Amino acid sequence: MMEYEIPLLFIAPVICSLPIAFAWVRSPGAKWAEKLAYLSVFGLFISLVIALHILFTYQEGRYTIQWLPEYNINFVFIFDYLSKYMGALTGIIAFLIGVYGLEYMKGDYRLGWYWFFFNMFTASMLLVVYSDNLLMLLIGWEGLGLASWGLIGHWFRDDDEISYVGTVGRKVGPLNMFWPPSMGGWRAISTIRTGDMPMFFAVAAIYALTGTLDISQIHWGGLFHMIGYGGTVLLCVLFLMGPFTKSAQLPFSEWLMTAMTGPTTVSALLHSATMVAAGTYVFMRMSWYIQPWNLHSMPGVEVVYIFVLFVGLISALYGASVATGCRERKVLLAASTMSSLGLMFGCAAASYWFGKFAILVAFWYLITHAFAKATLFLVAGHLIHATHDRFSCGDLALAKRMKVAFAATIVATVFLVGIPPFTAYWVKSGMDEVIHHIAHEVGMAPLTLLILTSLLYSAALAKFMSQNFIKGPGYHLHLHGEKLMPLAYATMVSMLVVLLYEILTGTEHVAGHFVEMGYVSSSFIVGLGVTAAYVIGTYKPSISALSKLGTFLSDRMEMPFLNDYIVPGVGWVIAWLVGLGNSAIDWFCHRGIPSAFNRFSRSIRSIQVGYLRVYLKIALGFVMLVIVVSAMGWW
């Protein structure tokens, strides 16, 4: 049965999306074609069922389909703790967002395009999740990049300001501080490709050095010993460029903010179970099999994990800080996602000193974050539909009209920020313990970054809740009797309660350890601080005296200048230098050398006149030269 289930897991979503893709080309806007969207969602349901079957019935192990056995390159799928849970997570979230999308995307002008790339997005992520072979993983990796371009730039006409990011028409100096969907899609794919190319070279080097691409079968310690300190650092950093850009870590964060030009369903999937989660997941998977806690004698490994630790935690603090200043619903959530991803990288990197448990903490935080953030994005999409405004607005009257959305927002934020005794509190207590434990190895800076991030993160999500349902500015409400949308995010947020049950009852053995850490006094103090930040953020979501600081933060601390002004400027200078070099080469090859040969050949021909007196003069000159040189040597 396995040989049929596994291919179907990846193929079903894509196959089921083809009818609406082809139908929309032939009859765009037709009612009968629009109904084919249900078939696309059915394809997602098939993947969900198979992923759940793998989770509950498959034994841990590997499954290989022969492809190029003579080169030791095959389709290799692995079913271990990480892949089984991550596959189920991806299947559940993609299916619920698909159900939500049936209503949210109704009447869209590119439904065929949307559903094909949405399902391809899901299938690509599942391929990344279950792949043990790095080549297979790269196929899924590239599928994610292509699908993200298609979905982020879905509304390519740029004809509706509600799909923009930033205030349309606003400029800061020479830079436009607003971005249309077409720019968002281009920005995403170009940034991601910047990281993908070094990652490809790293994978090629791994294959050349080890003769295999199977992550679980590579002898990582032997590889690092073979290539030494410099080789280890170079190889790992090149590989990590892919996860860093996919997960929008500094300085590659800007594409994630402007990716909010895509449909909210895309944002929800992008920020929860696919794309950005792929970067952190791949780092966790690699660390799971590298086992850095056993490689303290290997040169360069500690440097790599210190590098990831600080990149992650600094990115986390940056993202949380930016989120506190954002007014746009989806951009605020995007910045907070970047912050969460940074915490996952930082915690997983601490595994070098703390061991495998640090990866498990980061992984459980990924799961908790995925359900909560998917819920918040789906609520944001419903609010945008209802108010026709992408900026936060709403009060208690709106909360009464949209009770399910209000309740889901409260549960998702409270369960995510780390308020005791809710889900994320126990997971983040484990994170606090991990980072605190490594203080004697790397100092107090990581713990300080973690605590500051937790406080700002809590305040930012409280601001989102308050400005949309309690103390937001005025709005115009246009409810359309949506039923599937509230059902989807109500079901999504209920999974946080399931996770809390798993933790408190110890049903899931690993999660049961979080409770012990939640009772540590330091964890409880941090939890109280997070609660206070949430209360303050709810009561005072904006402070007029800090408006200039808020603008600076909402402008992402001028990071757009790096992406849209400085980097392109440097690029044009490099292009000019390359063009100058090409011109020099062109002149040298097509004019300089031919001209020199032409002059030389004419000189030779001038000698070949056929007159005896000319040759006698040449011979006489040569003899005289020899005599003079000889005389000088004798003297």
| 556 compared with 564, residue with greater pLDDT | 556
Three-class secondary structure of residue 394 per DSSP: coil
Above 70 in pLDDT, residue 610?
no
pLDDT confidence of 621, banded at 50, 70, 90?
confident
pLDDT in tens, 583-608: 888 888 888 888 888 877 777 666 66
Structural tokens at position 311: 């990149």
Residues 6+ apart with CB under 8 A from 533: 417, 455, 456, 458, 459, 462
pTM of the entire predicted model: 0.91
What Cα–Cα distance (Å) separates residue 77 from each residue in 46, 137, 269, 285? Answer: 18, 10, 23, 13
- Residues 33, 108: contact at Cβ < 8 Å? no
pLDDT at 631 (0 to 100): 74
The Cα–Cα gap between 472 and 459 comes to 15
In the predicted model, is pLDDT for residue 54 greater than 80?
yes
Give the pLDDT mean for 135-163: 93
Residue pLDDT, tens place only, 186-199: 999 999 999 999 99
d(CA 276, CA 247): 4
Q: Are 264 and 378 in contact (CB under 8 A)?
A: yes
Which helix (H) or strand (E) element contains residue 62? strand 61-68
Task: Taking the CA atoms of 301, 357, 315 and 375 in sequence, report the sign of the dihedral they define.
Answer: positive
Q: Who's near 211: CB < 8 A, 6+ residues apart?
A: 72
Q: How many CB atoms lie within 10 A of CB 444?
A: 11
Q: Residue 4 — left, alpha, or beta (φ > 0 → left; ψ -120 to 50 → alpha)?
A: alpha
Cβ-proximal residues to 129 (8 Å cutoff; 6+ apart), any chain: 83, 86, 87, 90, 281
CB 334 within 8 Å of CB 325: no
Q: How far is CA 215 from CA 77, 79, 284, in A?
A: 11, 13, 12
Amino acid at 510: V
Closest C-alpha to 125, from 21, 14, 218, 36: 14
The answer to whether the beta carbons of residues 280 and 344 sit under 8 Å apart is yes
221-266: pLDDT as tens digits: 999 999 999 999 999 999 999 999 999 999 999 999 999 999 999 9
Q: What is the pLDDT, as a whole number, of residue 486?
A: 96
pLDDT at residue 607, rounded to an integer: 62
Summary mean pLDDT of the chain: 92
Q: What is the mean pLDDT of the segment spanning 330-336?
A: 97
Confidence of residue 409 (pLDDT cuts 50, 70, 90): very high
Cis peptide before 568 (omega within 30 of 0): no
Residues 6+ apart with CB under 8 A from 362: 280, 284, 343, 344, 345, 347, 348, 431
The whole-number pLDDT of residue 614 equals: 67
Q: How confident is the model at residue 624 (pLDDT cuts 50, 70, 90)?
A: confident
CA-CA distance, 376 to 390, in Å (whole number)?
14
Look at residues 489, 522, 303 and name the one whose alpha carbon lies nearest to residue 408. Answer: 489
- Other CB atoms within 10 A of residue 502 CB: 19
